[in-house]
Structure formats: C-alpha cells, structure tokens
Amino acid sequence: MTDRKIRKATDVLILGAGPAGLVLGNLLQDHGVDCVVLERAEPAHLRTRARAGFLAAGTVRILERHGLADGLHRHGRAHSTCEFRTTDGRFRLDYSRLGRGERHTVYPQQQLVTDLLTRFTAAGGRVEFATEAVAVLGADTGRPSVTVREADGRPATWRARYVAGCDGRHGAARRSLPAGSVRRHHHDHGVTWLGLLAEAPPSLDAVGYAVHERGFAGHMARTREITRYYLQYERGTPAGAWSEDRIWDELELRMRTTQYGPLRRGRITQRAVVDLESDVLEPLRHGALFLVGDAAGLISPSAAKGANLAVLAASLLARALADDLLHGDPAGLDAYSARCLTSIWRAQEFSHWMIGLLHGPSGPDGAALFHDALRRSRLASLRTSRSHQDWFAEHYVGV
C-alpha cells in the first residue's frame, strides 16, 4: 500500500494564491470552468503579507469589469501626484492631468488578496492551503500532473487539462521547465533597497522620490496609518543592521526635511532587503503549462508594475482558457505568450528608465560625474517639458 494519493483535478490547476492566481480563479469560475488553487501558505499569511499597493487604471478597469472591485472602491484611495526632491530643488507632477489622464488607486495588496479569496471561496471555489507544489510533469502531453506535498507532509498528485504557474520566481512552474525550452533575460541593476513599513501616517500627499548624493529615498503611502519607505542600501548589509533612529535620520537627510518639513515617525514593522533585478522568460507557454505574474517576469519595484502585470496576464489567460475549454477555440492560448510579453517588455523599459533616473554610480570618477550630470538633465527635462511629462504619465500609470 502506498501513501501517494491520486486526485483528479478538474480542468485548470492554479499554482499560487496571489493576485494572479486568485484573479484567474475568480474569472474561470465566472466562466463556468472548473479549477483548483494550490497554495503553500496558510490563509492568515495571505491576508497579512504586505506587498505592492499601487493599482493602475487599467488594472482597476479589469477588476471592475469582473465584479472584483468592491473592496478597493470602499477602501482604496485615488492617487495622482508624485514629488521629486533633488539638489536642484523639488517639483511635483499631477499625472492625472498628463498623458492619458489616468491615476492610481492605492490599495494594499493583502487587502486585494483578501477580497479575491473571499469572493472565490464564497462562490464555491476550492483552495488547498498548506499544499506545496513540487513539480509539474507531462506539460507537453494532453494530461499534465502536479506533484505536491500536503499539509500533513504526505505526497500527492493532481491532474488537470492545463496548469497555470502563478507561484512566483522560485515556484514549481519555473523549476519544472525542460532544459533548453526557455530563453531567460536577466539583468542585475546593481542597486539595493531597504524596504520598510512604518506605523506612521504619510508625511506627503504624494509619492516621494528623493535623489541624494547618499543614495535614493522613497516615500509611498499605503493607508492613513501605514507608510512604505525605501532607502538605497549597501549590498550585502543585513536588513537589521541599522537601528530605527538611524533609519529615520537617514530618511530625513535624503528627503531634505530641513527644507521641506519633517517626516512623521513611527515604529518600523517590516524590513526587507531588495536587490533590484529584472528577469523575463520567453516563451510563457510550455505545452499545457502557462507562466503568469512573477513566474513569467520579475520586475524591479521602482515603477510599481508587478501586481498590475499579474492581473493583466491573468485576465488574458482566463479568457483564453475559457475559449478553448468551452468553445474549442485555441487562438487565445496560442497568442497568450506574445501578448503578455509585449506588456512585460514595455513595463521593463520604463522600470529601467526609472532606475537610471533615481540612482547612479557614486564617487568622483569621470563616469559617475557624467552619469550624475545626465540624470540632472533628465530631471530638469521632466520638470519643464510637457511632452516629457506626458510620456512619463502614460508609462507611469499604464501597463
């Protein structure tokens, strides 16, 4: 007798219950397509895991179209202003009046995930928590399977017509890709951030980008009581190396609070070291396995694109899967990879531009001085050129 259990899943097996997986699950369920979500974490972890918080206008439209926007309409806040602080002064852009006239909605990702999870399970959707996907097998066949480790530690196998890898950069979907089947585009931007969550009200009514000779500092509101901050950080330094007082002192120095007013301090509740990297796989379809969200392409947080790209890809894949499974039309599945990669690369290009705008090599050598002069010129153009501002606004909000 074996302790391996064979379970026949329905049509689509979704790996991961983040925004990509839960949007996909909700949309498939609305189409009448059977699906199961496998998630290695417990529900409480999903509901409290702090991640991104800026939803683009297109993302909000997708959520509205499918009845998934009630929570963000009740609790989200419209946002349309960013402020740049530099050695040459400060300036603001109201990007809702530029480009396509669109704005962000600030809504913490953990609240969106809670909304999506509640709706999915209330409508009968099935999520297997504390279930870790180990490997995707037979993706090039008509009946792939996924081996998992269940909450009690025992192995099991799930089967489905299609598998959606929404389980991130280090998940089973990526690990299971056959050697030589994918082209990886990877770039380390050479910049590290210390990401912080503080129990402190926002100090600005804008996203704050501070360009300073000691490194970048950023201010992003999350709620009326919580603010996310970023500090450019020396690579290899542990997240806990600096005291809270040192962190706040450094934030105030780089954000030039002696000129523009103090920050509202509070207890720092979360720290994480983030190495800014870009990582894209091509193609995003491998037989019956589809890559979605961070599994498809990792993007730096410099332009707040990750969750928005995940929702867009999930909506495209849901429609394509429904067309194939319900109507026998595979055209959407065939086009999925190319359509997603177009958006991913546009977002990557803007993120790369933002990294260059906000950071630069330090030191007195000629290359660093040249880069800093270019950066000052770019910021001056962004401050004064309407066409440059329109380009920024369109790409800052769009995916």
Token digits of residue 60: 């909000």
- For residue 193, what are the contacts with CB-CB under 8 A and spacing of at least 6? 216, 218, 230, 231, 232, 233, 273, 274, 276, 301
* Three-state DSSP state, 259: helix
Tell me, yes or no, if 396 is annotated catalytic.
yes
Tell me, yes or no, if 305 is annotated catalytic.
yes
Backbone angles phi and psi of 197, in degrees to 5: -115, 130
Length of the chain: 399
- Catalytic hit among 104, 286, 305, 395: 305
* Three-state DSSP state, 282: strand
- Catalytic hit among 107, 162, 233, 396: 396
Backbone angles phi and psi of 205, in degrees to 5: -90, 30
Sign of the CA dihedral with 309 first, then 231, 263, and 207 last: negative
Residue type, position 63, single letter: L
- For residue 395, what are the contacts with CB-CB under 8 A and spacing of at least 6? 99, 303, 346, 350, 353
Tell me, yes or no, if 301 is annotated catalytic.
yes
- Catalytic hit among 301, 336, 352, 395: 301
- Catalytic hit among 19, 79, 230, 395: 79
Q: How many CB atoms lie within 10 A of CB 115?
A: 21
Contact 296, 280 (CB under 8 A): yes
- Catalytic hit among 95, 107, 162, 209: 209
With residue 232 as reference, give the H or E element that holds it. strand 227-232
Mind telling me the catalytic residues?
Answer: 79, 209, 301, 305, 396
